[in-house]
Chain A
């Protein structure tokens, strides 16, 4: 948990409109490809060792025949008061001044305290070195490091895209604006259910949407102050 100091840096946040989300999981695959997330195979998957930076939660409500289903994409919520941060003995996970919950892979020693402490269970641990059957590794994104055994990993809000977007804005001598940074999940979403931007900028789409009467945060009462805002279904 960082001290909150006034900053003029962008504060990255995401808004997800659950009324538009269909649970199609395009975001999940887009994330896996963009961030070199490994597939572990049937055997390890059966032990619950899959790596997921984003997942679709599904809830059945009611009994047959009056069944309704709700979907909710869940990734690292980049909490302002992140429970995972203070428990890391080696400062591998910490809060950046842009509001990101960062994970430094080469600091991580694999205590898994952070995953234990995360109420959203969005952290995945690399229990082993992954095998990429050649030539699958040719599809690796060169901007994202490939994690090895003993390291915790999770959603970064596509920090490589954030850095590229900020560099572009700097090149053009201006502040970042909507559209400069689009994480892989947001870019691919078929129903345009996801929005990403600088919530500190009141003119940004996420800042406006976060004031909607439909806006909620996941497990808000824990006081984690998530940076992912969900817009509920309905009017």
Chain B
């Protein structure tokens, strides 16, 4: 029986039979009339627009909900970043909301400190505990020993927390991404005030030269650039673009390249220089620097640098010619700590873009005006934050008095496990995490935040030539007794009174977001507190279409003055010969250790989602664990077979300051994967696993590779040296299909 017949037969539709025949979708019209709450329509899907929070790209999503349950996330077809598409991480978003290991209510510690024993309390009590602690400290003039850290980089939490903390007399800190791509413009370009983070028109390029930029996985805005890549390959009326990737270990992005250049670790900048040198000496450049520069640049010829980069001169010359002669060449680069000397790579890749003159051209590098201020600044919130890199966290809490640590979605006990010792000396720790992670285990008070699908927020999209302001709104009612951290701060400010209360004028995050978003969209300066009751109706009218759409756009201009200056820019390039130093060799630690961001588990934030744990890694098919990638020839020399357990030991590194104490690494054991596409002198392992807490799906899976990043980040040479040996042939790899050994010896 069909729905329509059912409705008619049961008499529900009988009285409206005339109306039924008049409308196309009877059930859409009928049932809401019967049940006024338009949130609750039995058996009918309700779609809600919001913003994906699985990474920082800011893709628009629409969530299919039925009977108060969310059951599918799709890309928002209207959203300019993703146009209806969504990546593996985004698709798994529902498992954050419905994760069985969420902290289900506010809790206070009941057992010994760090025993991990908590008892549920009410929100009133939780806020009172924290407010009392804060008041007591303030009374004895120690307000500045309270610190707040968050890694909510795009939303309002940091704004509201900053406002609160400053009124209270201390600071809120915003922790940067571990694999931080934010320095996409550097060196000589950085000094130009009109330059903002560039956008790369990959779709229209005809030759793409990438220096370790994993733009299909983790770089800037993966879906935006994946969409562009599709068109780069096969848009109608366009020649098929050629794509060359320079990186020592082939990533998923590199796997899609037409040509892979496994340059020596840290020599990407040198490869860029060698290509530039060929372009200059063969007169293929559209913009040329002065003769003196060209003369001194001769040292960077492919012939001179081949020994350092390990790429044959003929190959460099061929690629340089193809690049410069292509209609619309484009060079991009990664700036993360996955890549050593990444700032130099940035500089010289951008130099290539200047040489071929693709700045603000179709298929080129688009530089946008700098007036790119966060819209929330207009909300009378503080404009700037104190940004810190995650590896500075241990120093920060060591350097200054810390009586109360408040920590939100940042997990130092996992990313820098050695910092646990210091964390344990802090008298009081309050965690706002939605999950019981390694840091929350040490906490005295748990104030679990909503997950993104239950929250209100405004943020902006990454890497677009239009300024896109995104709305995050609840798609379902909160699943557990959690509270959005912004609302906790509002409640705290009320409890503390005085100037702290005055610092936050609005009454809830929902009100702030609704009014703020509407006002921005209308390009008005919001006057939040002054709204009168009579105006509410008008506000409602403009709110509905905006909330259904989920975002709005402000156009940004390319800076027209730029082209005129590119020649001038070229004359100002500082040339340093530090790139030409000899490749580092070490007999005892013969390998460079690359630690990279896992394409779906990230740096461990997504390790608690079973969907992503059981998703075979695209390059190795490994699930539910870590692995070490090693070149098959190297492995053969060391007697290592695929799946063998190996031990890697990392050299001691000279890292300055307080980092020294924590940059000692224990040898770790994990299974080896023989990986055909990695340099013989390189070992690589993904981040993401090795949690000791963070729920049943994440705990005790694989090893924690993130710990090594602090070694590369704090180390002058930028890379860790390692040695590896075989431990056993006990195959612990879990791979797609089957893990059964190919040869089974039956003992008789």
Contacts and interface: CB of A to CB of B under 8 A. Distances in A.
Nearest to B83: A192
B233 A20 contact: yes
A189 B678 CA distance: 28
Nearest to A193: B230
A108 to B, nearest CB: 22
Given A20-B234, A56-B618, A141 B611 contact: no
A135 B230 contact: no
A47 B227 contact: no
Contacts of B252: 22-24
Given A190-B87, A191-B230, A235-B240, A33 B94 contact: yes
A142 B250 contact: no
Interface string B78-97: 00001011111011101101
A58 B87 contact: no
Interface string B626-670: 000001110000000000000000000000000000000000000
A144 B678 CA distance: 42
A221 interface: no
Interface stretch (B356-364, B431-439, B733-741): B733-741
Contact of A142 (B66, B88, B679, B701): B66
B92 A33 contact: yes
Contact of A26 (B69, B87, B633): B87
Contacts of A32: 91, 611
A171 B74 CA distance: 25
Nearest to B315: A65
B470 interface: no
A25 B618 contact: yes
B216 A67 contact: no
Given A64-B633, A171-B24, A188 B94 contact: no
Contact of B94 (A26, A139, A184): A139
Nearest to A234: B240
A65 B611 CA distance: 34
Interface string B230-242: 1001100000100
Q: Which range contains the number of A residues in contact with the other chain?
A: 35 or more
Contacts of B485: none
Interface in A141-161: 141-142
Nearest to B479: A135
B621 A48 contact: no
Nearest to B695: A133
Given A20-B230, A24-B226, A33-B91, A190 B82 contact: yes
A3 interface: no
B233 A188 contact: no
B615 A28 contact: yes
A203 interface: no
Nearest to A42: B624
Given A69-B250, A69-B255, A133-B100, A23 B676 contact: no
Interface string B1-31: 0100000000000000000000011000000
A34 B72 contact: yes
Interface string A40-67: 1110011110101001101010011101
A42 B90 CA distance: 22
A222 interface: no
A34 to B, nearest CB: 6
Interface in A161-202: 167, 171-172, 184, 187-193
Contacts of A22: 216, 226, 229, 252-253, 256
Contacts of B24: 171-172
Interface residues of B, number: 79
Given A29-B612, A190-B87, A71 B255 contact: yes
Given A23-B256, A24-B87, A192 B227 contact: yes
Contacts of A67: 250, 260, 676-677
Interface string B604-622: 0000001111111011010
Nearest to A36: B71
Given A47-B738, A136-B98, A139-B70, A64 B262 contact: yes
A191 B98 contact: no
A17 interface: yes
A41 B701 CA distance: 11
Interface string B38-82: 000001000000000000000000000011011111110000001
A63 B676 contact: yes
A47 B739 contact: yes
A21 to B, nearest CB: 9
A58 B600 CA distance: 17
Contact of B85 (A64, A71, A135, A190): A190
Nearest to A170: B2
B599 interface: yes
Contacts of B616: 25, 55-56
B226 A190 contact: yes
A23 to B, nearest CB: 5
B457 interface: no
A87 B72 CA distance: 35
Nearest to B225: A190
A104 to B, nearest CB: 19
Given A56-B618, A190-B82, A39 B611 contact: yes
Interface string B419-456: 00000000000000000000000000000000000000
Interface string A4-29: 00000000000001011011111011
Contacts of B90: 26
Contacts of A23: 252, 255-256, 618
A32 B613 CA distance: 13
A80 B71 CA distance: 32
B222 interface: yes
B404 interface: no
B676 A55 contact: no
A218 interface: no
B677 A69 contact: yes
Contacts of A142: 43, 66-67, 71
Nearest to B737: A48
Contact of A135 (B92, B100, B260, B739): B100
A64 B99 CA distance: 42
Contacts of B69: 138-139
B4 to A, nearest CB: 9
A141 B680 CA distance: 47
Residue of A39, A167, A234 with highest tally of chain B CB at under 10 A = A39
Contacts of A105: none
A58 B86 CA distance: 21
B624 to A, nearest CB: 4
Nearest to A133: B100
Contacts of B74: 187-188
Interface of A: 17, 19-20, 22-26, 28-30, 32-34, 39-42, 45-48, 50, 52, 55-56, 58, 60, 63-65, 67-69, 71, 133-142, 167, 171-172, 184, 187-193, 234-235
Given A69-B677, A191-B227, 8 more contacts: A24-B222, A25-B618, A40-B614, A42-B625, A46-B624, A48-B739, A55-B616, A64-B678
**4 shortest interchain CB distances as A-B pairs:** A48-B738, A191-B230, A190-B226, A69-B255
29 contacts: A22-B252, A23-B618, A24-B216, A24-B252, A24-B618, A26-B88, A26-B91, A29-B615, A30-B86, A33-B72, A33-B94, A39-B610, A42-B613, A42-B625, A56-B618, A64-B633, A64-B676, A67-B677, A69-B619, A71-B618, A139-B72, A140-B71, A187-B75, A188-B74, A188-B87, A188-B91, A190-B82, A190-B87, A191-B227
